[in-house]
Every structure is written in C-alpha cells, then in structure tokens.
Structure 1
Amino acid sequence: MSGYTRLDNSKLARWWWTVDRWTLACIFMLIGLGYVLMLAASPAVAARIGATRDMFIFKQVVFLAIAGSVVLATSLLSPRGVRNLAFIGTVLAIGATAMTLVHGIEIKGARRWIALPMMSVQPSEFLKPCFAVLTAWLLTRRVAGRALPGMIGAFAVYAVILLLLKSQPDIGMLSVITTVLLAQLFIDGLNLMLVGAGAGGMVAAFIGAYAAFPHVRSRVQRFLHPDKGDHYQIDTALQAFGNGGLTGRGPGEGRVKDLLPDAHADFVFAVAGEEFGFILCAIIICIFCFIVVRSLLKLIAEDDPFVIIAATGLVTGFGLQAFVNMGSTLHLIPTKGMTLPFISYGGSSAISVALTLGMLLALTRRRTRPVVRAGAAVYA
C-alpha cells in the first residue's frame, strides 16, 4: 500500500489515501490479539469437551481471515453502497432471525442459532450494523422532507426486531439495538424530553424482563446479592485477574481456561488478564476506546446527516458490545453472554463486527474531489 502515490487514480489508491489508517491498524491489532488469545484459551476448552485441541483454533483462523477480508471489502464502498448493503442485510437478517424460531438450535432455553456445516450462525448479530445504517437513512429521509415518514419507518422495523428478539429470547441483543436507536434519535435532534422518555421506557422494559424471564431475574439477583446463588464463573474470572497481576503468569500458564466452560468466548478477557496481566488488558481497553473516540471525533467535521447518524449508531453498538463483555467479566454489570469483538471465539460475531467496522471506515473516509494538475487527477 505504501507504494501508492497521490497521483495514482486507481480505486485502491483513492481508498488508501482516504481511509482512516489509524483505525484500520487498530482493527487488525484486535484481530491479531484474537489469534493470540484463541491459542491461549481454546485448547483446554476443546480437550474438556472431547474435541481435538486445535478445533477452535482452526475455525477461528478461518473466521478472522474472513472478518479481515470483510473489513477491507466493505470499507471500499461508497455511502450509497453502504446504505444498499444495509438494506439487503436487514431484510435477510430479519428473515433468518424469524427462521430461528422454527428451525433454530435451542441452547440454554433460547433459539438464536441456525445450524450450518462446520458452524452455527446467529442471524441477530447482523441486525446491529444493518439496522443502524437503515435507521440513519430513514431518519435523514425524514429530515430531507421526502414523502417517506422516516421515523415511523424506523420504529416499524424496530418493532419487528423487538418481537423477534423477545421471542427467542435475547434480551441482551435487544438492549444493544434499543440503545443504538436511542443514540441515533438523540443525534438526529429528538427532543430531550422524548429521549428521557425513551430511556425511562428501557428501564420499564428491564423491569418487565426481570419479572418475565427467569434467567434475567437470576443474573440480576446474583449481581445484586453476591452472597447468594451460584457465582462460580464470576469468582473464578476475578481470581484469574488477581493471579495475573501486572504482567501475567505467562502464555499457557493460566488456570481459568481449565475451569470455565466459556473461557474461549464470554470470558476470554479473564484469560488475557491471567496469562498476560493488567498490561495487556489495559492495551485492549485502550484500542477499543481509541476506535470509538477517533470515529466520533471524525464526525465533528462531517456535514452529511446520513453519515453522522449511521456512524454514530455503528460505533455505539461496537463500543457497547465491548463494554458489556468486559464489564460482566469484571462483575461491573450482571453477566451477559456477549462476545468481545474479534477476540472471543465465534464466526457470526467476528463477521458482524467486521461488517460494522467496514461500514464505519467506509462512511468516515475523506470525501475528496479530484483536482487536475499537469494532466493527472490528484486527490488531496
């Protein structure tokens, strides 16, 4: 890539000089850390369930390779291309999520996955980025004074998603999508009183979920009352952070991966803390914060409402997912089975996060006009 000059008018050259290379570098740092931590965490988990020790590693190598390709391919799109991809993706994801209610795999009382050869797919993962972009388009159509009632359309799509996720059930995913929608409505200029009403509605919904779903009630009670219930996973994860200290016990020397069934997925952050210490955990947190903050700062100079609202939704979903995983592992919030982007095991998660960040890179690329100098187009 460094061989491209600003005189080069090819599509790849224009992409290289307009994409946010700092964010791109951080994304591939996360993918690299995903490989390292999967090597550390997954062999013990695979051996415990009777599979070959390298099963999760080989699968995740493929998943992360696909994810990296998705990031690069999606970041080449124009805003119109991102919008079209999001529209198609929302339709397909809603259809596939509806299929899980009939033909889905039931795990721990929830139907969220569709079985495919060599892997299971969680279609609702792809609703997060696609719905965020579709909502931005609908809201900006409303602002533009077109015939389409944008906000009504956005809420209609949200109502369908709410019904599907409630039926699975997947309260955590529904909470993330709801938060993304509220953030986009706030950025779109919704009255602060209405935003407050929406937040109040979320609180009421959480209370309703607490009353209606036993697994939600159990997690909240265990969080609020540490002396009651089964705290084995959280206690083990917190002990792992303590055992790791500042620099960690060393690669392969941790014990948490031998004790927790989800050490390669929901609790991979605890594996990082035990084997590589506080330093690596701080680096991971800083990378996530850098991507979120830099993306938001780039929007300050943006004048396209669609780009602003869509990118806000994408980065909100990405940052919230990372916070939920790390926060629940550190017992800052009730436990929730949500992956750490690019680092936890999972094909659906890795590819959906790649789609999220690819769209974000595409939307935040510098929009330049060619200036002809000495017979060549120069992109400043």
Structure 2
Amino acid sequence: MTTARPYIPRPGKPAPQTARFPRDRKRQLQVWWREIDRVLLMLVLALMTLGTIAVLAASPASADRLSTADQTLDPLYFFMRHIIWQVAALGVMLGTSLLPQDMARREAILLSAAMLVMLLLVPLIGVEKNGATRWLNLGIVFQPSEFLKPAFAVTLAWILSWKIRDPSLPVIGISAALVGTIVFLLMAQPNFGEAILFVGSWFVLVMLAGLPLQRIGILAGVGLAGLVLAYSFYENARNRIDSFLGGGSAFDQVDLASRTLMGGGWTGTGLGLGRQKMNLPEAHTDYIFSVIGEEFGLLACMVIVALYLAIVVRVLVRLMDEDRLFNILAASGLIALFGGQAFINILVNLQLFPSKGMTLPLVSYGGSSTIAQCFTIGMLLTITRRNPYLSREAFDLRGSLEKETRP
C-alpha cells in the first residue's frame, strides 16, 4: 500500500485553498435560540396575538365607516389583511434577529440614510391622507418616518458612542443637528406627534451618554421654549392643543374614544357585541385600545398595559450586565420609541393627551407600520443577544472616558 505524496507548490505558485464548507444552518439556529432573549420574544408574540384578536373586533367598525355606495367592504376586510401583514412582519422580525450585531448596525445606518432621503421627498411627491402628507407611493404606500424611527435610534447610538473613542468630538451637536433636520421635515407634513417622539428619544440617549446635569437643564428649557414656539407659530400643534383643552372636533373624537373604552365595564360586552365602536374614527388603528375596552373590558386593557411595561422592563433588565456603550444606547433608544408611542396612544384613548394620530405598536392594524415595529423588535432581539456561558461586567462610562483621556 502506497501513501499519497504531499503536495509541494512550485516557487511562485500559491498553495491550493482548502474547500469551504457551507455554514450549518441548523447549528446557526441553535446558537440563535441559545443567545436570544426568549422571554422578550414570548412577550412580543403574546402582544401580537392579542392585537390580532383586537383587530378582529375592530374590523367591522372600520369596514362599515369606509364603505361607500360603490364599494361595500367585507366586515373582516381589515382582519384578513392584518393576518397577511402580521406574517410578513414576523418574518422581518425573526430575520433581523438572526443578523450579527455589527451587520445589523450597518444596515440600520444605511436604512436611516435612505429613509431620510425619502422624508425629503414626501413634501414633493407624497400621498395625502386626512389632511396630512406623510406617505410615499413607490409601488407600495408606506410612511418613511415609521422605518426611520428604529434606524434613527441605532444611528444616534452609533454617533453618541464615538465619545468613547474621542471625548472631544461634538457628538451632542452632531446628533442635535440630525434630530433637528428630522423634526423640521416631520412638522412640514404635518406630523407633530412623531416629532415629539423623536425629540424625546434623543433626549433619553444624550442623558445616557453622560451629558452633564447642567446641560440637561438647558436642553429641558430649550424643549419647553420650542413647545411654546410651536403653539404660537405652528398651526397644527395649536389646533390640536386648543381642541384638546377647548372641546373641538379632535377632542370630540377623543371624548368618544374615552366613552367607548369605559362602555364595556370591567369584563366587556363580548367579541363582536360592542356598539359604540361603530362610531369611532380609525377604530382599527388609532383608537383600537378603546375597542379592546368596550368588547373585552378594562381588565383586558390592564393586561395590554402590563405587557408593554413587561417588554420595556425586560429590555432594561437585559441591559444591566451590558458592557458596550453602543448596545446600551441603541437598545434604550429603540425601547424608548416603542414604549413612548404605546404610552401616548393609550393616553389619547384615556382622554389625557391631545390626539396624535399614532397607532398602538404591534396591536393596531397596519401595513408598513407593523413591519417597522417588528423591525424595531428584531433589532432589540439582535442587540440583546447574549452568550449564556459568558459573564459580562457592567459598563462604566466614567472609567472609559478617563481611560481614553489619559496621556
């Protein structure tokens, strides 16, 4: 028996490359399942399930209001479309959560740049709905600001994390210029509610990035002055605030939503038995929380609120042992946008906040908005992925800055 002679390349010729085997997908999924926050995933799936039931309850009301003499919508029209969007959104969420963190960050930054360009195009070629121009029709109608929100949070975290490498960089000024541009474009639509949401998330991130208390006070004063100026010179903001305080048409909608919410008592009228929901505008989107209250009761509303709180707390708990500033900022920004939108929507339905035209995340009916919210959760699942066999030390911002500034 003869043994094969080893291959010796001739001078000037490279050695042959060894064959590269494809990645084991099963092994990749096993690692993903081990590292992902399964508690967060289950909470999100539970919220989406309840949202699907809520859209089933709200679909007949919206179908009846939007039916015309020429076209009568099926009572389950929005429910069936919601199922399709939910399946697509779940694919986006799980696909995003499979990405490595560095790749997810790069894609979010590119998406932020693309959506910012789209936001510039909205005033020029945007689609008008209900007196506002917030959508683009590029074969599919979508709202650029919805996709910009999660991408913005990650991009902002990336910019603010530069401070660790070079504390002299004006990261606060750069981030302020970015958020100022976005707010200006949103107010031109007009979309005052989401402008406030972007500013609020930026404020949260600059505080977490180590902004001194004195500057935080200055920023708070600037924000208050900006709100006063918006009321004085921005008609959309002034009309909404005046309507909320004085009882205009927008306030009538909020009042109707509040009465619908309380109409079912603690246990509700039962699925499909609500009557006040038939008078609600946008029952399947902006005021779906009121539909839940009427048909499933205030106890069901408490469950929805508890799920939102559990998701926010779970993300924050997951960050307690994080050792990277970028991950802390990105996850905090994402959950601030998610929780802030839910908080505002619920307050509007409770007649405690002016109408903002915001959906209830993962519960309301939505096409591109549902996909954008699931992309947000997918980014959170990616950023909070942890190897359970590796221990981490809590991130020390002050120590890192001192280390970077040592000669």
Q: TM-score, normalised by structure 2?
A: 0.84
Deviation, structure 1 residue 163: 2.4
Larger mean CA deviation between 75-84 and 302-311 belongs to: 75-84
Measured in 2, the distance between the counterparts of 1:299 and 1:332 equals 31
The CA deviation at 1:297 is 1.3
- Corresponding residue for residue 57 of structure 2: 40
Residue 198 (1) aligns with residue 215 (2): no
AA in 2 matched with 1:200: G
2:88 paired residue among 59, 66, 72: 66
- Name the residue aligned to 1:373: none
Tell me the CA shift for residue 345 of structure 1: 1.6
Which one-letter code corresponds to 1:34 in the other structure? G
- Confirm or deny that 1:30 pairs with 2:51: no
Conservation of the 8 A alpha-carbon contact between 2:268 and 2:297:
yes
Q: Counterpart of 2:128 in 1: which secondary structure?
A: strand
The code of the aligned residue for 1:38 comes to V
1:236, CA displacement in angstroms? 1.7
Q: When the two structures are aligned, how many residues end up with a matched partner?
A: 361
Distance in 2 of aligned mates of 1:11 and 1:198 = 45
Cα pair 2:104 2:382 within 8 Å, conserved? yes
- The answer as to whether partners of 1:256 and 1:270 remain within 8 angstroms in 2 is no
**Structure 1 residues 229 and 27: CA distance shift in structure 2, 3 A:** closer
Find out whether 1:91 has 2:108 as its counterpart: no
SS in 2 for 1:11: helix
Pick closer, same or farther for the CA change 1:264–1:320 going to 2, 3 Å.
same
Other structure's SS at 1:190 match: coil
- Compared with structure 1, are the counterparts of its residues 146 and 78 closer, same or farther at alpha carbon in structure 2 (3 Å cutoff)? farther
Question: After superposition, what is the alpha-carbon deviation per residue over 1:188-228, rounded to whole angstroms, capped at 9, x for unaligned?
Answer: 100112122222222222212212233322221232335x6
Name which of 14, 33, 38 aligns with 1:16: 33
Is 2:165 the counterpart of 1:144? yes
Given that residues 261 and 290 in structure 2 are in contact (C-alpha distance below 8 angstroms), is that contact kept between their aligned partners in structure 1? yes
Distance 1:235 1:160, change over 3 A: closer
Partner of 1:101 in structure 2?
123
2:136 match: 114
Alignment of 1:1-380 (within 5 A): 10-50=27-67, 51-53=72-74, 54-117=76-139, 120-145=141-166, 149-226=170-247, 231-367=251-387
Q: CA deviation at 1:168?
A: 1.4
- CA distance in 2 between counterparts of 1:168 and 1:233 reads 21
Unmatched tracts of structure 2, length 5 or more: 1-24, 391-407
Deviations 1:272-304 (A, max 9, x none): 000000111011000000000110111111110
- Whether the 8 Å contact between 2:268 and 2:296 is mirrored in structure 1 is yes
Mapped to 2, the partners of 1:352 and 1:147 lie a distance apart of: 35
Superposed displacement of residue 101, structure 1: 0.8
2:405 aligns to what? Answer: none
Q: Hey, what's the Cα distance between the residues in 2 that align with 1:230 and 1:306?
A: 40
Segment drifting more, 339-348 vs 53-62: 53-62
User: Who is 2:3 aligned against?
Assistant: none
CA distance in structure 2 between the partners assigned to 1:168 and 1:17 by the alignment: 44
Asked if 2 retains the 8 angstrom alpha-carbon contact of 1:63 and 1:350, the reply is yes
| CA distance in structure 2 between the partners assigned to 1:147 and 1:350 by the alignment | 40
Q: What do you get for the CA RMSD once the two structures are aligned?
A: 2.0
| Structure 1 runs, 4 residues or longer, greater than 6 Å off | none
Tell me, in whole angstroms, the C-alpha distance in 1 between the residues paired with 2:121 and 2:180: 17
Contact 1:251/1:276 (CA < 8 Å) preserved in 2? yes
Identity of aligned residues (%): 39
CA distance in 2, matches of 1:230, 1:148: 45
Rg comparison, structure with higher value: 2
Output the CA distance in 2 between the equivalents of 1:127 and 1:198. Answer: 23
Alignment check: 8 A CA contact 1:142 1:151 kept: no
State the shift of 1:181 in Å.
0.7
Do the aligned residues in 2 keep the contact of 1:79 with 1:307 (CA within 8 Å)?
no
Q: Match of 1:10, SS?
A: helix
Greater mean alpha carbon deviation, residues 133-142 or residues 104-113: 104-113
